[in-house]
Amino acid sequence: MKKTMVMIAAALCLSCVNQKNEKREAEQTPFDYNVERFADLGVLRYQVTGWDNLSFDQKKLIYCLNEAALYGRDILFDQNNRYNLAIRRTLEAIYTQYKGDKTTDDYKALVVYLKRVWFSDGIHHHYGQEKFLPGFSESFFKEAVQSLDPTLIPTRKGQSVDDFLTEIMPVMFDPTLYAKKVNQDSNTDVILNSANNYYGEGITQKEVEGFYNAMKNSNDTQPVPFGLNSRLVKKNGHLTEEVYKVGGLYSPAIERIVYWLEEASKYAENEQQKQVINLLTDYYKTGALKKYDDYSIAWVKDTESVVDFVNGFTESYGDALGIKASWEALVNFKDLEATALTKVISENAQWFEDHSPVAPQFKKKEVKGISAKTIIAAILGGDCYPTTPIGINLPNSNWIRKEYGSKSVTITNITDAYDKAAAGSGFNDEFVCCDYEKELIKKYGTQTDNLHTDLHECLGHASGQLLPGVDPDALKVYGSTMEEARADLFALYYIADAKMLELGLLNDPEAYKAEYYKYMNNGILTQLSRIEPGKDIEESHMRNRALITRWVLDHGRKENVIELRKTNDKTYIVINDYPKMRMLIGDLLAEVQRIKSEGDFNAAQKLVEQYAVKVDPDLHQEILERYNRLNIAPYKGFVNPVYEAVKDANGNIIDIKISYTEAYDEQMLRYSRDYSPLPTYND
């Protein structure tokens, strides 16, 4: 508690923030963000910025939570499909022990397949859900398995290697068997046709719905999340839950998780955090969902701790009916530098509101900036590894959210890694028109990007007011696009303001141009890469960016403020007059705020339909081809850093060291060796 207070006091000193920023720029040593690329996947590495500023106790706390985060990996593999552990262990045995020719196409394809299995935590694509097929022959696989020491093969008790192969090979090679991990097709039985392992073989959707509907009580205002932490199976003709808990399903892994959580509680930062950890271990020991809700409430209340974590059966995207949760973990700590910056912005919120180009009657008389929380990920585990969200908002329970709120955070070192990795991809050379902008983006691209996000979150969404009597939902389907546009325009308008330099948020009056160029480039050109050919723009953040950039292009053409230029069949954005572009942004901000404040549905509809929905098919095609040629992986995941506990002669931990040199296969094999307590078959 005291520590947090000291840090907040430090955050108030603007020159400190400024100096810290300059120091950060100067100290940056080259860090290799790109690790590996195969199939449609890219493996990146992230940096745990600010680690050295943590106290020794905080480091020990994170170390223990990390261990707890890594021990759940096998659970997720088994949840995704009952054969995933058998297949992973067989492939790993070949990868490490095979003595045959490793230069053949078959062997190389096996390596890619194993890397994909690691990446997707099983044999189904992590995003598309479909089973991906091996690129090697069945005969090669058979021969490779038979060439190994039979004790290395994860056969069932008493099963021969041949019988094992007969059981496992259709699972890998037959495209019709376990074809989709999660099947959402409403014309089929979504349980029978999903390959995940949340339900015993042969259980139908009707049976599942019947089982859980019977548990619900419509008078209960605080319902527990029924079925969240169990597999539903049929025994002697009766449906019954196998609960994930100590002594239940996945017990060997959960026991290790509990052990490390109990170790972690010794270093808890305060009583509230200690209570969070204790409630979680109680829940793991009993499997009682009421305990899970108690834990979630305590977790939401813990806003003081610097270190925080998620560990458990959390999200239910992996179950077509949204009942069962996959195991995931994330250990993190507050990004104190970024939090200091958002604090500076929030504290000046009234100044920004008073000086905006919006008409006075639409401004807030008293504005309170929102303090956005940003965190640094220390380790990713379970369903957050290797692919991870860049933000989290938990808990999921509706009544807890309503009564106690939720924690919403963005993970800055992960977004930073995405940015830096993309910088090495040739993206800027392909899509940025001129050397002047390329230089600015290199120098200030990430800094202004983060600043834009902060201004958007802390000021943009907090600014402006509705006129009395205006319905907040008056803009209906256009509401969220207009709201995002308002927040982005507020950020874009002020990122070019001298106030940024005065507050020490930027130190070069030209830095904002990096953000202006990137924003225009993304809104008009590069974001089209995420749209399928022939489709409209649907998502409201994408619509907002299209709206702003195309409106500015349209209105800036006359005076040659900005233009689209075609060179060698490639379209580029060329910005000729940045100060005038800022004035256009101010004009649009005033208009968007007016529409919002007055609830002018017709004007909102006109703006969105004219600028934010349709895609020029020729330009779209051109962008897709240019992306293709760059060979940027559509899906990305991360390797974790390695944490090492340094001990003295008596076995006491004296330091926690962090390193970033582990390769993708090294890490996966290490996790499979050191954090793999589950048996191959859990049924």
Residues that bind Zn ion (CB under 5 A): 484, 487
3 state SS for 212-256: HHCCCCCCCCCCCCCCCCEEEEEECCEEEEEEECCCCECHHHHHH
Amino acid at 570: K
Which one, 369 or 381, has the nearer CB to Zn ion?
A: 369
For Zn ion, the closer CB: 411 or 421: 411
Nearest distance from residue 659's CB to Zn ion, in Å? 36
Query: Cβ closer to Zn ion: 69 or 487?
Result: 487
Q: Cβ distance 672 to 89 under 8 Å?
A: yes
Give the nearest distance from C-beta 337 to Zn ion in angstroms: 22
Rounded Cα gap, residues 643 and 424, in angstroms = 27
3-state secondary structure string, 507-551?
CCCCCHHHHHHHHHHHHHCHHHHHCCCCCCCCCHHHHHHHHHHHH
Give the pair of three-digit tokens for residue 593.
């705020």
Q: CB of residue 664 vs Zn ion: minimum separation in angstroms?
A: 34
Distance between CA atoms of 182 and 243, rounded to whole angstroms?
21
Measured at CB, which residue is nearest to Zn ion? 487
Phi, psi of 673 (to 5 degrees): -90, -45
Q: Write the burial class of residue 618 (CB in 10 Å: 0-12 exposed, 13-18 middle, 19+ buried).
A: exposed
Residues 6+ apart with CB under 8 A from 82: 197, 681, 682, 683
Comparison of 155 and 453: residue with beta carbon closer to Zn ion: 453
Nearer to Zn ion (CB atom), residue 68 or residue 372: 372
Alpha carbon distances (Å) from 106 to 38, 100, 138, 619? 16, 11, 10, 40
Is 275 or 453 the residue whose CB approaches Zn ion more closely? Answer: 453
Which residue's CB is nearer to Zn ion, number 487 or number 561?
487
CB of 486 to Zn ion, least distance (A): 9
CB of 461 to Zn ion, least distance (A): 6
Is it true that the peptide bond before 252 is cis, omega within 30 degrees of 0? no
How, if at all, do strands 642-647 and 653-659 pair?
antiparallel
Cβ 11 to Zn ion shortest distance, Å: 23
Which residue, 455 or 487, is less far from Zn ion as judged by CB?
487
Which of 379/592 has CB closer to Zn ion? 592
Which residues does residue 44 pair with via DSSP β-bridges, in sequence order? 34, 638
CB of 356 to Zn ion, least distance (A): 17
Least Å from the CB of residue 410 to Zn ion: 11
Least Å distance, CB 320 to Zn ion, is: 30
In whole angstroms, what is the distance from residue 433 CA to residue 572 CA?
A: 6
Nearest CB to Zn ion, comparing residues 373 and 580: 373
Nearer to Zn ion, 484 or 497 (CB): 484
Instruction: Looking at 81-222, list the stretches that DSSP marks H as alpha helix, in order from N- to C-terminal side.
Output: 84-97, 105-120, 138-146, 161-173, 205-213
- 678-682 contact pairs (CB < 8 A, 24+): 678/74, 678/75, 678/78, 678/85, 678/250, 678/252, 678/253, 679/252, 680/85, 680/86, 680/89, 680/154, 680/156, 681/82, 681/85, 681/86, 681/156, 682/78, 682/82, 682/85, 682/249, 682/250
What is the Cα–Cα distance from 412 to 420, expressed in whole angstroms? Answer: 12
End-to-end CA distance of the chain: 46
If the CB atoms of residues 432 and 487 are measured against Zn ion, the closer one turns out to be 487
Under DSSP, the state recorded for 683 is -
If one counts every other C-beta atom within 10 angstroms of the C-beta of residue 26, the result is 7
Q: Which C-beta is closer to Zn ion: that of 61 or that of 487? A: 487
Least distance from C-beta 601 to Zn ion, angstroms?
Answer: 21
CB of 576 to Zn ion, least distance (A): 29
Q: How far is the CB of 460 from Zn ion (least distance, A)?
A: 7
The nearest distance, CB 456 to Zn ion, in angstroms, is 6
Measured distance CA(31)–CA(47) in Å, rounded: 8
